[in-house]
Each structure stands twice: as C-alpha cells, then as structure tokens.
Amino acid sequence: MNNDNRISLKIPEGDLTAINAAVKVLQEKLMPYLITLPIEERQMLAKMGDKNTSFISKCTEFMQQNPSLMPQYVSLEEMKIDLDAVGTLYSLYIPLKQIASAIDDSMMLSGSEAYTSALAFYYNVKGAARNNVPGAKDVNEELKKQFEKKSKKKDDKTKPQN
C-alpha cells in the first residue's frame, strides 16, 4: 500500500468564512439570472458550439444587412441579447469550472487517502484478531460488516410474496 500523503487540506476558518461569503454572493447575485433545465429538455435543445459559432456570427451580419430575409418570428435584438449572454456566462464559467474541477479532485484525493488509511487500519485489526490481540476481535467483527455480501436467499425472504 502506498503511504504517500499527497494532500493535507485544512482551510483556515477565516478563509473558509470568506469563501462561504463569496459563494453566497454568487448565489444571491447570479442565480436570479440563471435557469435550470430538465435533462430531457437539455437533450432536445440545439447546441451552440465552436463549430457553429462562426455560422451564428455570419447569420447575424447577414440579418443586419438583409432584414427583409428574416423570418417574422426571429428577433435580431433578442438574438444579440442571447449572444451577449453566452459571452458573459462563458467568462464566468471557465474560472468557476476550474475551481469546481480542483474541488472535485481535492475531495477525491482526500477521500481516497482517508479510505486507504481506514483500510490499512482494518487489515491491521484483522491480523491482530487472528493473533488474539485483546480487543481486536470485537473491532474486527464490527468493521468486517462493511465487506459482507448479502445472500440472495435473505433478499428473497424480504421480498413481498404475490
């Protein structure tokens, strides 16, 4: 087992208070402008990406130059608002995504190190229990429950009968 401790994260209380305040500001100031979509709707929407960004720009230019070609249900002004929103949100998204990714990685590594340490303790307790070290058997009995597989026969008995 690897004994490296690659992360030892302890955020000082003052910093954590400031971070939580900043998150609260983001929630209070940004969330009123944002929406959340159900998964089904997200899947059905036309997606704007790198490949079609230049297409959208060209269409915007042509719409301005040729208003008679625009469908009546399309608003150039609303389209410009939407494009500006994409730019504004993207400028917020990139640094927030980097922070979220680093938080996720840090949680994963911290959790992995904690779980690895717990497993090392458990394996040590198992060995101690086999060697009749006082107190080890009770600890082992409690901890080994985590790794016991439930038999199908027990599961079948708990299922309602038709």
d(CA 1, CA 9): 21
Six-digit token pair at 158?
């708990």
pLDDT, tens only, 84-113: 999 999 999 999 999 999 999 999 999 999
pLDDT at 153: 59
Model's pTM, two decimal places?
0.77
pLDDT at 72 over 90: yes
Per-residue pLDDT reduced to its tens digit, 106-127: 999 999 999 999 999 999 999 9
Give per-residue pLDDT as tens, 9-34: 999 999 999 999 999 999 999 999 99
pLDDT category of residue 157 using cuts at 50, 70 and 90:
low
Round to whole Å and give the CA distance between 48 and 71. 20
- With 0-12 / 13-18 / 19 or more C-beta atoms within 10 angstroms meaning exposed / middle / buried, residue 133 is middle
Average pLDDT, the chain: 93
Domain positions in the chain: 13-157
Q: What is the pLDDT of residue 150?
A: 78
